[in-house]
Structure 1
Amino acid sequence: MSQNHVDYSEKRDFIRMRVDTEVEVIQAGEVIAAVCLDLSASGMQIQAPRTFQVGDELQIKLDSDHPALAGLDVSTRVVWIASHAEGQQKLGLKIISMR
């Protein structure tokens, strides 16, 4: 797993919320179904069914079924990768902007 210039102490600066929910990953117009494992104020961890590279910019959409809560639509950058079984990856994503 590569941290790519992210100081370990930064990992403790934000509370992580475990969510285990489906998200859409959009890269260059391609929509890929993935699972958001956890979410914080500055980033998220997802599990994706295909491979990405550190530095890739991905749009992440998480729909809300609750009428009073808006969904999440964020631009992110891949900051670390952990390979998983059968071509899947766990990705650490830094939130760049919210839409």
Structure 2
Amino acid sequence: MNKKSSVYIVLGIVVVLGIWLITTFNALVKKDERVKLQWNEVQNSYQRRLDLIPNLVNVVKGGADFEQGTLTKIAEARSKATAVSVSSSEVDATKFKE
């Protein structure tokens, strides 16, 4: 083998290695971009969840206010129903016989 052919062989190996490195680098960059896009999707989902929490709190508060109002009305109705007051002017023996 002469010196000229060994230079061509080394040059060919360097070119093939350079092409392989470039394609590998480009593939890694593409994969990194895909990972970043997917991570952004995850962050968007978490942000949507966090944005929904105040709405859920408001709905629960509204339901609690409604329930509290209903409970108050029921308690008032019960107290009125159990508090029977009879005045002596309304008591008449003939009404009891009926």
TM range (shorter): under 0.3
Higher Rg: 2
Which gives a bigger RCO, structure 1 or 2 (Cα 8 Å, sep 6+)? Answer: 1
Q: Which has the higher helix share?
A: 2
Give the TM-score of the pair, scaled to structure 2.
Answer: 0.13
